[in-house]
Amino acid sequence: MKLIEHIYPVGAPPERLDRFISSREPDLTRSAVQRLIEVGKVAVNGAPARPSLKLKGGERVVLEIPPPVPAAPAAEQIPLEILYEDHDLIVISKPAGMSVHPGAGRRAGTLVNALLGHCTDLSGIGGEVRPGIVHRIDKDTTGVLVAAKNDRAHQGLAHQFREHSIKRVYAALVYGSPRSDKGSIESDIGRHPSDRKRMSGAARRGKRAVTHWKVAGRYGQVTALELRLETGRTHQIRVHLSEAGHPLLGDPVYGGAGRLPGLRDPVLRALVRALGRQALHARTLGFVHPVSGEYLEFSAPLPEDMQRILDYLRSRVELSIMNFEC
């Protein structure tokens, strides 16, 4: 049984208990929250409560979350952009909107479902829900990802990820213009102390995270960055860039979406709004083949939505240069 505790903020307007829990636990539907309350798995200040209870400030809300019951994902015939495949592993370019593996409220349409539909078998080390999965990228981040087809490949790749010997290069579009042309960001990243949807460099119990970056292009209010991961924590790049004052364009969680009105160019605002996600792409993945010992490296071009923004930014700079020369 997993226990989760929330404190309703003092001074906040009154809010129904079920609404408050749903806002803090995005993986739980409103109906799931109500069921937990009805079966006595939610306590307010140590006492059972009703879903309609109005919280007024300072209440201690504790949830008991039953352990998930693993369910074997179903194989689905979902098209995959395959960059490489052999008997031991498969490398794909993941599109935006596809989760890597099933989770709460998400049983279909994931990369695992697609891999099961394409491969005859996958490494069982990841368990029933995550077969073959060695690493992840966020649902709305695009780019290169490797999966293991057998346990030997899985163990070999996992070792390289643990040793941070994997080459991982990302392309990003961020707000603002960093003062220098390159640098590194290091912090301990963990679950945000008050918002469980987010990670933070101010977490009480974080893990070391290091991101190296350099400027690939400056375009006024927007900068293109190339980033290289030394570690691979959840939301690492998104957290590091946001806390450095340069959140990713369109990031709905770490501040990018909130800066949209600040873009002076209406065309650029429209392009970012159409993006509808963080402007982050896992461009390059390099590793030693866990069976053959050969070094392999794969890259995927920018997705169309990010490329449109970059093309527009470059055209605007070129036009400015032409006008200056005239």
Instruction: Tell me the domains of the chain and their CATH numbers.
Output: 2-65 (3.10.290.10), 69-163 (3.30.2350.10), 164-285+297-326 (3.30.2350.10)
Q: What whole-number distance in Å separates Cα of residue 107 and Cα of residue 73?
A: 7
Mean pLDDT of 1-23: 91
| Pick from 121-125, 177-181, 301-305: least confident | 121-125
| Amino acid 1: pLDDT | 66
Classified as helix, coil or strand, 85 is: strand
CA atoms within 13 A on the CB side of 141: 23
Active site residues: 138
Percent of the chain with pLDDT over 90: 72
How does the average pLDDT of the chain come out, rounded?
Answer: 90
Classified as helix, coil or strand, 222 is: strand
Classified as helix, coil or strand, 32 is: helix
| Amino acid 320: pLDDT | 55
Annotate 154-219 with DSSP letters as a single string: HHHHHHHHHTT-SEEEEEEEEES--SSSEEEEEEEEEE-SS-TT-EETT-SS-EEEEEEEEEEEEE
Mean pLDDT of 115-126: 85
Res. 25: pLDDT tops 70: yes
β-strand 2-7 against 42-44: which pairing, if any?
Answer: unpaired
Residue 104: pLDDT band with limits 50, 70, 90: low
pLDDT tens digits, one per residue of 201-244? 887 778 999 999 999 999 999 999 999 999 999 999 999 999 99
Classified as helix, coil or strand, 30 is: helix
Residue 72: pLDDT band with limits 50, 70, 90: confident
The amino acid at 59 = E
| Amino acid 123: pLDDT | 85
| Amino acid 70: pLDDT | 52
| Amino acid 325: pLDDT | 47
pLDDT tens digits, one per residue of 250-297? 999 999 999 999 999 999 999 999 999 999 999 999 999 999 999 999
Residue 86: pLDDT band with limits 50, 70, 90: very high
Torsion of CA 303, 308, 313, 317, to 10 degrees: 110
| Amino acid 67: pLDDT | 67
Angle at 231 between CA 72 and CA 226, to 5 degrees: 105
Q: What whole-number distance in Å separates Cα of residue 105 and Cα of residue 87?
A: 32
| Amino acid 153: pLDDT | 95
Q: Which residues contact residue 245 at a Cβ distance below 8 angstroms, ignoring those fewer than 6 apart?
A: 176
